[in-house]
Amino acid sequence: MPTKKRIKICQFCKSSTEEIDYKDTGRIRRYTSGRGKILSPKITGVCAKHQRMLSQALKRARLLGLLPFIKV
């Protein structure tokens, strides 16, 4: 018997977030893998609009040295 697929709700839409801040490393770190790569929206459940903002914030935080490029 097939199982029901759980619908993922965007956490940023749920909390009505307008901008994703690159300085909030605790929040945006959850959207990276153990190796430091950006996780896909299929895994995280983030909508397309917030995925674009999230990837921009992650890349900006990496360039400023707030987050590592890779985790060793």
| 11-63: CATH topology | 30s Ribosomal Protein S18 (4.10.640)
The domain limits of the chain are 11-63
Count CB atoms within 10 A of the CB of residue 51: 20
pLDDT digits (tens, 9 = 90+) for 24-51: 999 999 999 988 899 999 999 999 999 9
What integer pLDDT is reported at residue 2 of this predicted model?
76
Give the rounded percent of residues in the chain with a pLDDT score beyond 70: 96
What integer pLDDT is reported at residue 72 of this predicted model?
67
Longest dimension (CA), the chain: 50
